[in-house]
Amino acid sequence: MSVLSHPEYDDHELVAFHRDPASGLRAIIAIHDTTLGRGLGGCRVYPYGSEALAITDALRLSRGMTYKAALAGLKQGGGKAVVMADPRRDKTPAMMQAMGKFVQSLGGRYVIAEDSGTDEADMHEVAKQTAFIGGGAAPLNPDDPGDRDTSAATALGIFFGIQAAVRFKLGRDDLKDLRVSIQGVGKVGKVLARHLHEAGAKLFVCDAHAPAVEDCVRRYGATAIDATELFELEVDVFSPCALGAILNDDSVPRLRATIIAGAANNQLAEPRQGKALLERGVLYAPDYAINAGGIINLYYEGPTRRWADVESHLRRIGGTLTTIFERSHDEGRPTDVIADRLAEAIFRAPRGVA
């Protein structure tokens, strides 16, 4: 199957393939749309089972970044890089420098950043070969909780989004004693757990990494649950912060949550799941609307950056979600459809109009 006929292809501006035999790099950079600005997106290193799976990820995630940036009010386009390698076994400084050369060859159309399988050290290697990098290559500011760590901003944005969802669906301005389940308490999930605990929520957590669960139990009084209990557990909020496609034909009918609001990308396995959630009376916070904290954080990188500005922008996530919820309620359409239309109205508008 060619890229142009791929089901995830959505008039992407560029899909570039690169191989560097010396370092073992095999990578793809996809740029979806640069109407609003350069294509910004993370570099994901993952042992894809096939090139087809890597292409699917690059196309889907780069498109999601376009919509995410538009809805977040950023003058930024959408892009994504995927590296076909095991981050624990295959990744080397030489490979990341080769990735930097690949990024540089595109002349600034794509701006690289951290993602799953990459970290600050990797970005320092990338920065040796390109200036087109979003964060991770400058001295750390210890007074800025979001500097070089997008997880802090992502988690705070999710927290503000949960507050907005609870206010809309449950008519409450506080989270005290609300039952919240979190799937995945890694970088983002563990910070979100702290915010929710401090707000008085009762937490139920699961993660494939047992020590992460134990840490939440110890620090926040969370209840550890097995993945098999996740969907049948009666909670006010279910926050998926791990794998994508978690809302599917198997899980949606079993859900006993009132609200779904989490950090995972591509939570809906198929578009029809958004309609199914609406019909079940479950309020779904579209993933790219609520998890925009990371890209917002990167947008403010630079010498004039202030965490107060980042936090102020993160708070706007709640307002954006409220608009989506209200339109969904008034029009009887799924929240993900409403979010798509709002984003498209921004990045597909004639230049100078959006």
Give tens-digit pLDDT for 77-132: 999 999 999 999 999 999 999 999 999 999 999 999 988 899 989 999 999 999 99
Global pTM? 0.90
Task: Decide if 202 is inside a domain.
Answer: yes
For residues 56 and 165, state if they share a domain.
no
User: Which of 92, 126, 160 corresponds to the end of one domain?
Assistant: 126
Report pLDDT for 140.
45
Cα distance between residue 352 and residue 75, in whole Å: 12
Task: Decide if 29 is inside a domain.
Answer: yes
Mean confidence (pLDDT) of the chain: 94
Angle between helices 187-198 and 210-220 (to 10 degrees): 20
Task: Decide if 351 is inside a domain.
Answer: no
For residues 115 and 214, state if they share a domain.
no
The predicted-structure confidence for 128-186, as pLDDT tens digits, reads as follows 999 999 864 444 454 555 455 788 999 999 999 999 999 999 999 999 999 999 999 99
User: Which of 126, 158, 187 corresponds to the end of one domain?
Assistant: 126
Whether the predicted pLDDT of 50 surpasses 80:
yes
For residues 166 and 118, state if they share a domain.
no
For residues 163 and 249, state if they share a domain.
yes
Q: Is 232 exposed, middle or buried (0-12, 13-18, 19+ CB in 10 A)?
A: exposed
What lies within 8 Å, CB to CB, of 118 at 6+ separation is: 42, 43, 44, 45, 87, 96
**Among residues 207, 316, 326, 310, which one has the least CA distance to residue 264?**
207
Domain range for 210 is 150-346
Q: What tokens appear for 200 in the block? A: 């008085």
CATH number at 244 reads: 3.40.50.720
For residues 119 and 235, state if they share a domain.
no
For residues 220 and 266, state if they share a domain.
yes
Q: What is the mean pLDDT of residues 28-33?
A: 98
Report pLDDT for 232.
96
For residues 189 and 314, state if they share a domain.
yes
CATH number at 62 reads: 3.40.50.10860
Task: Decide if 142 is inside a domain.
Answer: no
Whether the predicted pLDDT of 2 surpasses 90:
no
Task: Decide if 139 is inside a domain.
Answer: no
310 a known binding residue?
no
For residues 168 and 114, state if they share a domain.
no
| DSSP alpha helix (H) spans, the chain | 51-71, 93-105, 120-126, 150-170, 187-198, 210-220, 272-279, 287-290, 293-299, 307-331, 335-347
187 a known binding residue?
yes
State what percent of residues in the chain have pLDDT above 90.
86
Whether the predicted pLDDT of 190 surpasses 80:
yes
For residues 164 and 265, state if they share a domain.
yes
Which residue is catalytic, options 68, 75, 80, 202?
Answer: 80
Q: What tokens appear for 24 in the block? A: 């073992």
Q: Are strands 235-240 and 179-183 parallel, antiparallel or unpaired?
A: parallel
Which of the 8 DSSP states describes residue 229? G
Binning pLDDT at 50, 70 and 90, where does residue 288 land? very high
For residues 104 and 236, state if they share a domain.
no
Identify whether 80 is a catalytic site residue.
yes
Question: What is the number of structural domains in the chain?
Answer: 2
Cα distance between residue 351 and residue 40, in whole Å: 19
Task: Decide if 239 is inside a domain.
Answer: yes
189 a known binding residue?
yes
For residues 166 and 284, state if they share a domain.
yes
Task: Decide if 71 is inside a domain.
Answer: yes
**Among residues 116, 154, 276, which one has the least CA distance to residue 260?**
276
Task: Decide if 224 is inside a domain.
Answer: yes
Cα distance between residue 56 and residue 286, in whole Å: 20
For residues 169 and 41, state if they share a domain.
no
User: Which of 62, 93, 126 corresponds to the end of one domain?
Assistant: 126
Whether the predicted pLDDT of 352 surpasses 60:
no
134 a known binding residue?
no
The predicted-structure confidence for 198-229, as pLDDT tens digits, reads as follows 999 999 999 999 999 999 999 999 999 999 99
